[in-house]
Amino acid sequence: MEPYRRSWVNHLFYHFARWVCRMLVVLLFGYRFSGARNLPAQGGVLVLANHQSFLDPILLGVPTLRRIHYLARVTLYRSWVFRVLTAPLDVVPLDRKRHLLSGLREALRRLRQGEALGVFPEGQRTWDGSLMPLQPGFLLLARRAGVPLVPVGIAGAYEVWPRWRRWPGPGRIWVHYGEPIPPEQVAQLSDQELLAEVARRIAQCFQEAQRRRQGRDQPPAVPKTTCYVDPRPRSSAQASVALGKPLK
């Protein structure tokens, strides 16, 4: 399959925007990251992170020279803030009610072209800063693409820009990239086991990011409750995806 192609103008704009965004999040929010070497330098990879704020796609992308594509609900495009923040990103619009499968096909195509795809499997931004149940929609991509899964924990973005606040405020943000789950391990796990494993890995990364953000020396134990997953899809379209409806 041919690689995903971009114009030189797109390349230039993206790297300029990445540099500007990196300077801004470091200066405004004391942004730091760890474990970025766990993100493979090339080849398809699925990046799975908890979702705290509108800043999350930027926070995932600025530590690495790799461009990360994103799945995003079409309803988010109603916000001009979202449109501005995601302008330089390779976003795949996802209409959960009418065209879910077409969006997933495009995401799968990009993974097979060797691109990195960022997904927030909680499906929405957190309401209180804690981890939420994972939705099963990413399972089809994880199995069909045959790529590593990289868990990521984002800490502090909720305090900076919670969903109920119109504008971001002061705070400190840390992002931690965990060790990849190889495709061989993905193939050996059932859907429920894979959901639980991804939830556990994201919870570990979140706790590590919290620890580093707060300057603590000893890593805390990961509460079992943070690994809760909800296997039930929220629509009939998601049900067909969870059951493995073929993607062409």
Dump pLDDT digits (tens) for 164-213.
998 999 999 999 999 999 999 999 999 999 999 999 999 999 999 999 99
**Any domain includes 88:** yes
**Any domain includes 189:** yes
**Any domain includes 12:** no
Q: Is the pLDDT of residue 222 over 60?
A: no
CA 199 to CA 212: how far, in whole Å? 20
For residue 1, the model assigns a pLDDT of 60
CATH code at position 58: 3.40.1130.10
Lowest mean pLDDT among 11-20, 50-59, 88-97, 141-150: 88-97
- The total of structural domains in the chain comes to 1
Altogether, the residues listed in the chain come to a count of 248
**Any domain includes 6:** no
Dihedrals φ, ψ of 69, to 5°? -80, 160
User: First-to-last CA distance in the chain?
Assistant: 14
**Any domain includes 64:** yes
* Residue 99 Cα to chain centre, angstroms: 21
Q: Which residues are 181's β-sheet partners?
A: 149
Tally of CB atoms within 10 A around 245:
13
**Any domain includes 82:** yes
Looking at the whole model, is its pTM more than 0.95?
no
**Any domain includes 4:** no
Range of the domain at 62: 31-242
**Any domain includes 87:** yes
Tally of CB atoms within 10 A around 175:
28
H or E segment and range at residue 118: strand 116-119
Strands 116-119 and 45-49: parallel
Q: How far is CA 45 from each of CA 17, 33, 145, 165, 217, rounded to the nearest angstrom?
A: 22, 19, 9, 32, 31
CA gyration radius for the chain? 17
Q: For residue 185, give every residue at least 6 positions away whose Cβ sits within 8 Å of its Cβ, in sequence order, or none.
A: none
